Every structure is written in structure tokens, then in C-alpha cells.
Amino acid sequence: LSFNTSLWSRVCSPLSPPHCHPFAVIALTMVGHGGMFTFNKNDGYLEALVRGYRAGLLSQADYANLVQCDVLEDMKLHLAQTDYGDFLANEPSPLHTTTIAAKCLDRLVDEFNHVRIQAVQPLASFLDYISYGYMIDNVVLLITGTLHERDISELIDKCHPLGFFKSMATLSVAHNVAELYNNVLIDTPLAPYIQGCLSEEDLDEMNIEIIRNTLYKAYLEDFFKYCEEMGGETAMIMGEILKFEADRRAINITINSFGTELSKDDREKLYPNFGHLYPEGIARLAKTDDADAVREILAAYPTYRDVLTDSADKSLEDCFFEHEVKLNKAAFETQFGYGIFYAYIKLREQEIRNIVWIAECISQQMKTKINQFIPIF
Amino acid sequence: MGHLWRSEPMQLVQLFVQIEAAHDTVDELGNLGLIQFRDLNPDVNAFQRNFVNEVKRCDEMERKLRFFEAQVGQEPGVKRLLSSVSVDNGAASSSSSTQSLDELEGRFDELEKELAQMNANQTMLNRNNNELVELQHVLTKDAVFFQEAYGNVGEPRRGEDARAPLLASGASSGVGGDMFGAAAGGVKLGFVTGVIARDKIPAFERVLWRATRGNLFMRQATVEQKLRDPVSGVEVEKNVFIIFFQGDRLQQKIKKICESFQANVYPSPDTTRERGELLNQVTHRLQDLEVVLTRSRENRKQVLASVAVHLQAWRTRVMKEKAIYHTMNMFNYDIGRKCLIAEGWCPKTATEEIQYALRRATQRSGALVPSILSVIRAVHEQPPTYNRTSKYTKAFQEIVNAYGIAHYREVNPAVLSIVTFPFLFGVMFGDVGHGFFLLIFSLILIIKEKQLGSQKLNEIIAMPFGGRYVLFLMSLFAIYAGFIYNEFFSLPMDIFGTTWHQPNSTSGNIPDLTRTYPFGIDPAWKGAPNELDFYNSFKMKMSIVFGILQMSVGIFLSFFNAMAMKRPHSIINMWLNVVPQIMFLWSIFGYMCFLIFYKWYIDWPHLPVPVSPPFILPLIIGMFLQPSQPPEPVMFPGQHTLHYFLLAVAGISLMLMLPVKLAVLKMLHNKEHNQVGHEKHHDDHHDHAGGVVHHQQDDFDDECLDVSHGDIEFSEVAIHQVIHTIEFVLGAISNTASYLRLWALSLAHSELSTVFWDRLVAGPVAGGSVPMIFVFWSVWFAGTFAVLLVMESLSAFLHALRLHWVEFQNKFYIGDGTRFAPFEYKTILNPEEQ
């Protein structure tokens, strides 16, 4: 029965052309790209690999042990017993939190690249889509850094390695958005995204934030569209995750814009055009002036009502992270979809955040706050 | 043999060691390698154990050693030193063991600092060197660029200012000419010159073009000399470039782009003369720097050489220390009495040696209180299985271990495998020629044993090398079976003179009835029209006989397991398991074997009343399906009665195995259930019907394998027994059939080699063309080697393995033990051996 219903839901999804015979659609979902029929042939190995990686995520017991550590060397000793292995073995004592973070990230990047290199289409472009998000962050980081006259090589060290692109360093040459586009971004996959905010204005803090959000909006919409076109489990899982991501961005933009020069019209332009909040919630968000109103708007949506109920002692950000972890974990419950690749990267990132948090608490002797991480499994 | 038949009797010992003597004690025991320590703090985190700081120190030292090794590895000359030293590390390690860990740590620290300092210096020097080299290239290439430009203009004007508006105009033809011609309009041209990695050139050009909207002129030239990146040490190919442009804003922009592409921009003087001077200067400085660099490199090499000599010994030392502290972390630390309490398994026979090692350690450390060894009663835990092996028996033991480690003190199938395994292989691989090649190969491995054993082998060689004695026996049995089948590369050998002769060409062969061919099969069968009928019948029957024999032996081995159990389980297993099993097997398949021999024995054509010989298989099937009908023909008087009797025996044995045994087990279970209250310390034991065994330490009787029921659900036992019985009965048929693989593989082997010979050798020889004979002979040899010697031997090995693991061992082998893994330096230092 479950097989039937899941298939049926796919058949009846708004994507399938209405004039198609249902069985033709079933056949399509099975044979087409990312369909059940060819999934294991093309992506089965990598899926298995990622599921294996997922099994290496730290467990509750691991966290329970980690929070008992007194110095960072203890963490190293414990992490050596997990899947992290001897990743810190060549680091001289005393350890620093930044080293741990960097090494953790290295591992994530290694894993991602390993998967990316072996992926075939359409998984390869799906994975590329994941890296575009990091590219946007890198672009913004570099522009901001140049604005503050930082050294370019120092900035590049800070960039997320998943978002590297070739002509990255040249970003420092750009003085306005048009130059940015014409000199650098035109070669990158981000080129189509920036076309929405081309202007001859000089770059400043405000501009950069707008660029970031415009890029991100365009990126999310494109990614969402791509996943929807792919259909099947990918559309289902990624749809949920990306809708949440879009909503989170909208809410964050709204809250962060209070008390800035950003006009409401400009703000509305930055909201992604999909998501659970779209369109009514977005329209209401565009008109709000204070945080309480935001909360009120969100209360109308069951997903976010649950997310926000126990937010008394947690920041909104943590609540969102928690919800994100929940969604990403759900991705592993399904098969024949690319959601798990995205989810794994996000979960691993969360784990790195957790490790860094614990390490920071240990190195700064803030043991009381050490439990404020977000456990995954 | 005794120690191979069953695993060593083990005992659980407790050691009380003074804290001062602990390190030396563990060290001595590590050298001895006869005790497997139990982890007494399983609940304690790795970083909360007693000696975690020492372990961390060792980790740190290992890291430094890795750093040294990496440094040594960068110097090819010194690296050779390292590998030559590692061969005789024995002497070196003994000399360094006198050094204390603290001294060693201090030395490592100093060395690391020294090396780091040197590396920093060298990196700096290298960077300077690279910069100078690059500048040199820039200057020489620039000269060429300018020269070309002037050349194109047609007026070589040395000493002219490059920025000055040039005079030449319209007559110019080349690109450079255009450039300078434009400049002639009175605009000042600036230029930026430098060096950039070659792979960045396309992107660099593109960005430059975009940033300046095409208002630039760029020339580039390759630098032939590869430059080593001072930080990463990778060789980089670079290009010299020179960019001409107009205006200051562009200059800024271009410089920024250069910076972002990590291009090194060098100032280049405007005039040729100045450039020449600078070039001279640079060359001089380069020479000076070269001297300094060589000296510092030599210095570094010397330091590294002194490190390389000790590196192996140091690593051994640190690994030992780390192992010692890891082991000590498993001990209980009694703070009040200042002593460590260790528990571990050791063979009973090793008590003396351990005691002696303890005394030595106490002496070495100068502790006042001697260490105490006491034997304690085992907890609810099966002792580890320890089979002492020699280099000869080891491979056979590993074949068994690959299936499962023997239960503690159960009969070890490896003993019989030493003969049966190569024998069954030989049955499938029977060919004198092929066996001879295998023999030579195994002999080479055995003769070169010492030489090969001391070096690291690749996986393909290491596998046959590990099993060289197995291979040796396999080849002997293959040769033996080859003589029986009378096959030498598929050709029959007429050694004793065939008993068949051909009196004239019209009639067939006539046997000489006065004698039989003394050994093996008469060569006349080869090539006879009924060759296959004969060989198939012979090999099939032979397979069945060997199969029944081996399975019977398997059941007898379970008899030995049952014998070693405690009463009443030994009785139950003996009479309700072993005996019915053997009765069942023999009543059907034993009878079949008897018929096979009987049929061979009877001289059918010369019976007083000649009858055609019966087919055995239909006869056996008929015995089951229509027991009331007498066999046709009756082979011996009373055969029909015998059938009734055998059927009855099979039926009775089934009864004994299932309902009777269940009833007895139930009775026993009830009885024991009542006793549980009194003897709570009885272990939970699990009946595996085949004879399971659990060592109980109550009276510490090692020769005893014990089975007793604890609180186990009776229904579980019952289900187990039902499954086991069905498995046995079905298995008796399917396993017997499974032995037919002996025939199948042997047939395939001989057919394949016959085809190879006929097509590739006999055919061309008959054809008579000599070159073709050479060509086909080499094809035949290659085919024989690749297909018959390599692939066929692998497949025969695999099938022999299966017959042992499945058909033979499932009759008695439990194989749920754990391997005895003593704390031993040898295995820690060479983890691959084992």
C-alpha cells in the first residue's frame, strides 16, 4: 500500500502534466533522470558512500564524552576513536579551536570532492548547485574584505573551500557591481544570479548585503526550480528543505532590516519567491516593522509555530538550526533522491559547528554553556 | 600434535604490580608475548584513564618522528640511509633503549626546533633565490621583448628610454611596431613586468583584457627553468610577462590584478644600460646566495643524516612505550596500596615464564615488593583460543581460522586438514605435469623462505608465500593423483606396459588377463571410445567414497568433542547425537559405498550365471521408495533383508536424534532448573546440539568441555534441535552430492588440458609446419600456465576450501571462539605479520 500511495502522490504532484496518463508518468519517474530505474546504476554507489559517511556522524554518546573533556587534547583523543580518526595526529600540541575547525572542514571538503569527482549527471550539477551557495558567501566575504582593505591572500584563507572558483582573487579589483559582474562573476556559475542587481553604484556595506541577498534569492529560486524539474524524491525532500531555507532567509532579512536604511520596497525584492510563507506570509512580512509582528505572522504557519514554541531559552537561529537538522535527517529516510547529498553536507556542517562550540567552551572555560549545541543523531 | 589437536588450556591470572615496577613489568611481558590483558576499565573514557598523559606524550613524540621522517624523505641521499639502517634495527634499538623517555623527548624537541629553524631559513633563502632567478629571467626576457620591438621598428637603439615617445612611425609592420607607433603620438607608455605561474595565464589574460577593455599590450615568454615553490616544495612552471599600458589608473588596476593572481611583479629599469647593470648585480647576488644555500643545505643534510640513523630505533622505542602505557591503562589502579592490578589470559604452560619475567622486571626496576601472580577463577567468559602453530602448520590453521576461530578446547579441524585439504585439491587437479610446475613454484618459495620472509612482499606474492607449505603438499598430491589418473599434461604415461594390446587392426584391443596394470589407470583407456564413460564412473564413485569417508570422520570428531564434555552432556551428545548421526549416514550412504566396492569386486562377465551389473543409484532410491520389492538383480544373498534392516536403522536414528533427545533434554532442563537456586554461579550455556562446549572453572578441569543449561528457554533448545536434525538429514544427501564436485573439477581439468594439447600441439605437429609448431607451442604453454596452472588451481583450491568449510566442518565445528591476542611487541611493531 505504501508503495502505491507514494507513487500516486508523485503522479498527482502538480509537476506532472495533467494530460498524461498516470502510468506514463510512473514510467517516466522510474526511467528518467534520477528515476528509480536508473538510480542505483548512476548514483547508487555514491548514495551508499554518503550513507556510510552519515553513519560516521558523532552520536549522542560521543557528544556526552566530548563535553566531559577538560582540554582540547582530550577532545583529540576522543575524536580519534570516532570516524574522524587521526585527523589531528600531525598537529602539534597545544591545539587551537581554529585548527580543529579547519581540520574538520578539510574532512568535509575531502568527502564532498570525493563524491563530486565520481558523480555523473544530473547528480554532478546537483552537487555543483550545493557549492554555489558557498561561492556567494565567498564573493561577499571578499568584497567586504577588500572594502576594509584587508590583504587578499588572508581573505582567501578565510573563504569556504567548497565555494572556491578560479578568478576569485580578482574580486578585489572591482569597485562597483557592474565591474564585479563584468570582470569576475561573468565566468562563474553565479553570473545569471547577479543580473538582477546590476548597478554602477560604488560598493558599500549596504550594497554588499543587498548583493548577497539578491544572489541568494536568485540562487535558491534556481536551485528550487532545478529540483522541481528533477522530480521524484529529490523534489520532495529538497522542496521541503529549500522552502524552509527560503523562509528562513525571508525572516532573517526582515528582522535584520529593522532600524536600517533599507526601504520596505527594497526589502520585499529580496524575499525568495517560494517557500511556505510565499505569497501571503511574505506579503505580510514585507509590511512589518517589529519583531513581535514577525512572530505573529509566523504563528499562522504550523511548521514555524512548532519551531518557535520552545524558543524562550534559545535564539531564533538555534531554533532554525534545529529544524534544519530535523529536515535533513528526514532526507535519509528516503531513497532514490539526491536530498541526502545536500542533507549530509548540512548535517556535517552542523556537526562541525557543534565540535567548534564544544571546543570553544572548553578552551574558554565556559563549561556551563557547553551543552548548547544541537545534537544530530 | 597434542597442542594442535585442541587449543592450549588457558587460565585467568591476576597480577599485582608495584607502581614503580609496572612499566618494566609490562615491557618484559611484551617481550614475552604470552599474556592477553583484559580491559578492566571498559567504562572509562580514553582521556580519563590513568596513564593518558603518557600516551599523549608518546603521540606527540610519534608526531615529531613523522615530521623527521617527512624531512628525511625530502632528501634522497639521506633517505637511502634510512632504508639501509632499517634492515639491522635490532642492534640500534638495543642501544637506544638505555635512553630514558624524557631524554628522548628532550632530544626530539631540540631536533624539531633545529629543523624548523633550518627550514624557515632555507625557505627564506629559497624565496630570495627564486626572486632573484625570476628577476634574472625577467631582465633577460625583457631585453628580448624590447629588442624585438626595436627590431620591428627597424632602429635598434640601445640606451634609449623605453618610455620615451618613439620616433619611428608609419613604416612599422609588426605588432610591437603598432604599439610603439601609437606611442609616438605623444602618450607615455608604462609597463609592468613580472613572473606568473603558467597555468594561470589564460585567466590572467582574460581578466586583464576585461579590466582594461583591451587597452594593453602583453608579451610573454616561458621560463625554461622550473622553480620550486619555497613553501610547498612543488615545482612550478612559470612565464615572464610584460604588459604595456597607458595611464596611472590602469597601472593600479593591473598591479592589483597581478597581486590577485599571485604574480610576482619586478621593477625593471627603463633603459637598457640600467637593465644590464641590474642583471649583472642580480647574477652576482645569485652566485653569493648559491654558496649560502649550498652550505645550509649541506648542514641540513648532516642533521637529517644523524636523525635517519636513529629514526627506526626511535620509532620502535616510542611505539613500545605507547603500547606499554596503553596496556597499563587497562589495569586497575589501587591508589591506597600503590599498585596496579592486571588481569589477563595466558596459557597454563606459560606460568613459569611469566613468573620469571615478573622477577626480572622487579629486579630491573628495583622495586621493593615483588609482583604477585595469582590464578583466579574465570568470570562468565569463554577463554581465548590459542593454537600454537609452526611455520608449517600455520597456513593450515589460518585456513580454518578464516572460517571461524575454534571454540575454546574444541577439536581443531586443522589437524586433519593438513592432509585432507591438499589431497582433495590433488583429486581435482590431478596431472603429473601441472603438479610438477606447482611443486617447482612451491619449492622456490620454500628455498627462498629466509630471503622472502625478511622483506615486504606485494599482495600477489605474499599470498602464495604464506601458504607455501600448503602449496607444496597440494603439488605433491596433484602429482600423486596425476599418476593415478595417468595424465601428464593430459597425455597417458605407459610406465609399466599396458595390459591391452592390439593383435590386428580389424578387431579392438584385447586385454591381457594374466596381469593387471600395477599402479594407476591403464594408459590404454586414454583415447579409447569409452574413455569418458570409464573415467566418469571411476571418478564419480571415488568422489562419493571420499565424501562419505570425510563426513564420517567429521562425525567422529564430534564424538571426541562429546567425549570431552561433562556428564551427563557427554552421554547425551554421544548417544543421541553422534551415534544416530553415524548410524544414519552409514545406513544409507555407507551402504552405497559398500555397494560401490562390492560391484568393483565382483567379476561380472565371469559369474556362473552372468547377469548385467545393477545401477547403484536406482537401487538405493528403490530401497527407499519401494522397500517391499527385492533389488534386481540381487547382488548377494540377504540383500533384501539387509534393506529392511538399514531402513529400520535410519528410522531409529531419526527417532533418537529428535523426539528422544528432546525428551531427555527436557528432563535435564527441569532437573537443572530446580538446582539453579543452589548454584547460581552456573553459566548460561547454550546447547548447540553438535556438542557445545563451555569451559567452566569450578573444578578447573581443562580437558573438559562442558555443556549445561542455565535459564535458557526450553523452546529455543527444542527449535534448535529440530533445525539441526533436519539440517543433518537433508545435509547428508546434499553434502554427498556436493562431493561430486571432485569429479566435476577433475573432469573439467583433464578435458581442458586435452583440448589444449590436441588443438595447439598435436594439430600443428601433424600439420608439419615447423614455425607454426613454435608459435602454437608457445600459445599452448601460455594457455596452460594462465588457465590451468593459475585459474584452475585457484578454482580447485576454492572448492577444496568449500568442502572443508561446509561439508566437513559443519559436522562438528562450532568455531565461535576468540583468537588469543597476547600483548606482544612483535605484532605491535609489524602489524602485517599475523
Place of cell 597476547: B822
Q: How many residues does chain A have?
A: 377
Residue B648: pLDDT band (50, 70, 90) is very high
Q: Is the pLDDT of residue B380 over 80?
A: no
Mean pLDDT of chain B: 81
Q: Which residue in B60, B211, B262 is closest to A173 by CB distance?
A: B211
**How far is residue A288's CA from residue A292's CA, in Å, rounded to a whole number?**
9
pLDDT at B586: 93
Best A77, A159, A184 member to test B by mutation, with max B CBs in 10 Å, is A77
pLDDT bucket at B677, cuts 50 / 70 / 90? low
Interface test with A, best of B69, B260, B322 (most A CBs within 10 A): B260
Contact B242, B191 (CB under 8 A): yes
Instruction: Tell which of B45, B56, B208, B264 to mutate to test the A interface (max A CBs under 10 Å).
Output: B45
**pLDDT value, residue B472:** 95
Model pLDDT, residue B442: 94
pLDDT reading at B153 higher than 70 = no
Between residues A153 and B332, which one has the greater pLDDT?
B332
Question: What pLDDT is recorded for position B228?
Answer: 76
The three cell numbers locating residue B830: 609489524
CB contact under 8 A, B56 and A93: yes
Half-sphere exposure of B164 (CA within 13 A, CB side): 12
Count Cα atoms within 13 angstroms, Cβ side, for B501: 8
Assess whether pLDDT exceeds 70 at residue B708: no
Pick the residue from chain B with its C-alpha nearest to A167.
Answer: B203
Pick among A66, A79, A165, A170 to test the B interface (most B CBs inside 10 A): A170
pLDDT digits (tens, 9 = 90+) for B186-201: 556 788 888 888 888 8
pLDDT tens for B398-426 read 999 999 898 888 888 998 999 999 999 99
Q: What is the pLDDT of residues B94-103, one digit of tens each?
A: 444 556 778 8
Q: Give chain B's length.
A: 834
Q: Determine, for residues A152 and B260 on separate chains, whether the beta-carbon distance falls below 8 Å.
A: yes
Chain B nearest-CA residue for A95: B60
d(C-alpha B473, C-alpha B477), whole Å: 6
DSSP state of B491: B
In this predicted model, what pLDDT tens digit does every residue of B50-86 receive, in sequence order? 888 888 888 888 888 888 888 888 777 776 666 555 5
Q: Which residues of A touch B206 (CB under 8 A)?
A: 187
- pLDDT for A9: 45
Residue in chain B closest to A72 (alpha carbons) equals B47
* pLDDT, tens digit (0-9, with 9 covering 90-100), for B558-570: 888 888 877 777 8
Quick: pLDDT tens for B778-819.
999 999 999 999 999 999 999 999 999 999 998 888 888 888
Phi-psi region of A16 (alpha: psi -120 to 50; beta: other; left: phi over 0): beta
- At B546, the pLDDT band (50, 70, 90 cuts) reads very high
Which residues from B are below 8 Å from A176, CB to CB?
none
pLDDT on residue B293: 86
From B56, B66, B210, residue closest to A90, measured CB to CB: B66
Which portions of chain A are predicted below pLDDT 50? 1-20
Three-class HEC string of B361-374: HHHHHCCCCCCEEE
Distance CA B244, CA B520 (A): 95
Alpha helix (H) residue ranges in B455-526: 459-466, 468-485
Type and span of the H or E element at B246: strand B238-246
Cα angle B153, B157, B162; round to 5: 80
A113 touches chain B (CB under 8 A): no
Asked if A68 lies within 8 A of B45 by C-beta distance, the reply is yes
Strands (E), B480-574: 500-501, 510-511
How large a percentage of chain B has pLDDT more than 70? 85
Residues above pLDDT 90, as percent of chain B = 22
Q: Report pLDDT for A25.
A: 53
Give the per-residue pLDDT at B592: 93
- Residue of A65, A93, A170 with shortest CB distance to B257: A170
**Which of A81, A183, A185, A187 is the best substitution to test chain B (most B C-beta atoms within 10 A)?**
A183
Burial letters for A197-221: b for 16+ Cβ neighbours within 10 Å, e otherwise? beeeeebeeebbbbbbbbbbbbbbb
Q: What is the mean pLDDT of residues B429-458?
A: 89
Can you give the pLDDT at residue A311?
A: 55
Residue B315's pLDDT is 86
pLDDT at B92 over 50: no
What is the Cα–Cα distance from B82 to B73, expressed in whole angstroms? 9
Cα gap B275→B191, rounded to integer Å: 14
Task: Quote the pLDDT of residue B797.
Answer: 95
Say which residue, B74 or B493, is predicted with more confidence: B493
Chain centre to alpha carbon of residue B214: 62
Q: Cα distance from B313 to chain A (closest Cα, Å)?
A: 20
Residues 6+ apart with CB under 8 A from A160: A105, A134, A137, A138
Residue of A81, A93, A169 with shortest CB distance to B261: A169
Interface residue A183 vs chain B (CB under 8 A): yes
Chain A CB contacts of B203 under 8 Å are: 166-167, 187
**B777, B719 in Cβ contact below 8 A?**
no
Partner-chain contact B256 A173, CB within 8 Å: yes
Nearest CA in chain A to B61: A92
Does the pLDDT at position B241 exceed 50? Answer: yes
Put simply, whether B60 touches A (Cβ < 8 Å) is yes
pTM more than 0.90: no
Which of A125, A164, A163, A161 is CA-nearest to residue A341? A125
Greater confidence (B730 vs B145) lies with B730
With CA atoms as reference, the chain B residue closest to A81 would be B46
A74 and B257 within 8 Å at the Cβ level: the answer is no
Confidence of residue B596 (pLDDT cuts 50, 70, 90): very high
Shortest Cα distance, chain A CAs vs residue B256, angstroms: 6
The confidence score (pLDDT) of residue A255 equals 82
What pLDDT does B176 receive?
Answer: 38
From the list B45, B210, B259, the residue facing A182 with the nearest CB is B210
Q: How far apart are CA B463 and CA B465, in angstroms?
A: 5
DSSP code per residue over B754-782: HHHHIIIIIHHHHHT-HHHHHHHHHHHHH
How far does the CA of residue A223 sit from the closest CA of chain B (Å)? 28
- List all residues 6 or more positions away from A35 whose beta carbon is below 8 Å from its beta carbon: A28, A29, A232, A336
Does this complex have an ipTM over 0.90? no
**Helix or strand (DSSP H, E) at A4:** helix A2-11
What is the model's pLDDT at position A312?
A: 60
Q: Note the pLDDT tens digit of each residue in A97-144.
A: 888 888 889 989 999 999 999 988 888 888 999 999 898 888 888 888
